[in-house]
Amino acid sequence: MIAIRLFAFIFTLTLVMAVPKPLEKPKHKEFDTCGGDGEFPLGVCRYPENCCTIEEYLMQKNIGYNDVPSCGFNSPFKGKMICCPKTDTQRTTSGPPIFRFTGTHLVTMRYFKNEEMDDYAYRCTGVLLSSSHVLASKQCAGEEGEELIRPSRVKLGSQDAGRVDDKADIKKDIKKLTSYKNDLVLIKLRTTLNTTQLMGNVSIAKLCHPDDLKGYPNFFAAGYSYSTEKNESCTKFTMQLQNLNLKECNNVKVTRQIEDLATDQSHFCLRPLPIYKEGEECSKCLTATSSVLHVQRMDGSQCVAGIATPTSNEFIEEDSPLYFTNILTNSVSDFFNENNVGRTN
């Protein structure tokens, strides 16, 4: 009897000792961002069995499970959800913590660099909407008559905007640019991509369903980073974002006229959670690259929800809030229909 009591006592004690410290803000969901507060590295809420970095981290820091922040959620089957630290490579190369991002639906655009139009560079990011349409931020379009700042071609299937002559890339001439308010531009390709071209490194984007925005979506931005240096290798990047109340974007500097900012569901306000890497030559500025807003779904798939709003041409601090134009609104789908985008989802 005493033995059983003693056992129960030790068992309870072990349980109490094993309870990780709660974070200040409890009740995070699985895959939410956590840590990054100086005491603990940036991480993702996960169950210990799914966290492949925790053992190594505990060993390196010579600490125990007790010192790992909890995400404030306790599953009867999987135990306490913990803040699973991200490694440097996970943070800098594969962006969103858990799932691989290939971004085969992203394209980049070609711009002439001089009056002679014999030298060019690729920059800006667009989304392949159909076999002959690309959607991008209005700032990628330039103005009528300004050939130097109007894109002439799109490049599809490339990992790298900086490398100019990759035989594996598919390039398509642009036929027409159509604006949606001052936010977006629809790019019609001169020829349609055929089924062979829509395989492998190129795919049509999956747009999010309104349900993907319910609760606490796991947002991230993706785009082509760029450099003004020739031959600099600049690949696609991803950056996690924190969803904010629209009011938090009140201080965003707006130098271009944008309709309906901060008045309805037409824009999102998000703050990037950037990871700085020493010696990085490629710009990942979310507005300048006209990055694309994605949702990381629980099942591992990803969908597109918006495009960085071109509020200003100026550089914006990488960790200040910014607007993204919601492309899931009725108004944007009407625009797609008027322009015969012919999407199936």
In the complex, the residues that contact ligand NAG under the rule CB under 6 A are: 157, 159, 166, 168, 194-197, 200-201, 230-231
Task: Output 119 or 259, the one with its CB closest to ligand NAG.
Answer: 119
State the nearest-atom distance from the C-beta of 199 to ligand NAG, in Å. Answer: 6
Q: Which two tokens stand for residue 175?
A: 């036929």
Task: Output 196 or 345, the one with its CB closest to ligand NAG.
Answer: 196
State the nearest-atom distance from the C-beta of 106 to ligand NAG, in Å. Answer: 13
Task: Output 163 or 209, the one with its CB closest to ligand NAG.
Answer: 163
Q: How far apart are CA 329 and CA 55, in angstroms?
A: 44
Residues linked to residue 323 through DSSP beta bridges, in sequence order: 269
State the nearest-atom distance from the C-beta of 172 to ligand NAG, in Å. Answer: 10
- Residues 6 or more apart whose CB falls under 8 angstroms from that of 293 comprise 219, 220, 221, 241, 268, 270, 304, 305, 306, 307, 308, 324
Task: Output 195 or 228, the one with its CB closest to ligand NAG.
Answer: 195
State the nearest-atom distance from the C-beta of 253 to ligand NAG, in Å. Answer: 35
Task: Output 231 or 251, the one with its CB closest to ligand NAG.
Answer: 231
State the nearest-atom distance from the C-beta of 302 to ligand NAG, in Å. Answer: 19
C-beta nearest to ligand NAG: residue: 200
Task: Output 172 or 297, the one with its CB closest to ligand NAG.
Answer: 172
State the nearest-atom distance from the C-beta of 163 to ligand NAG, in Å. Answer: 8
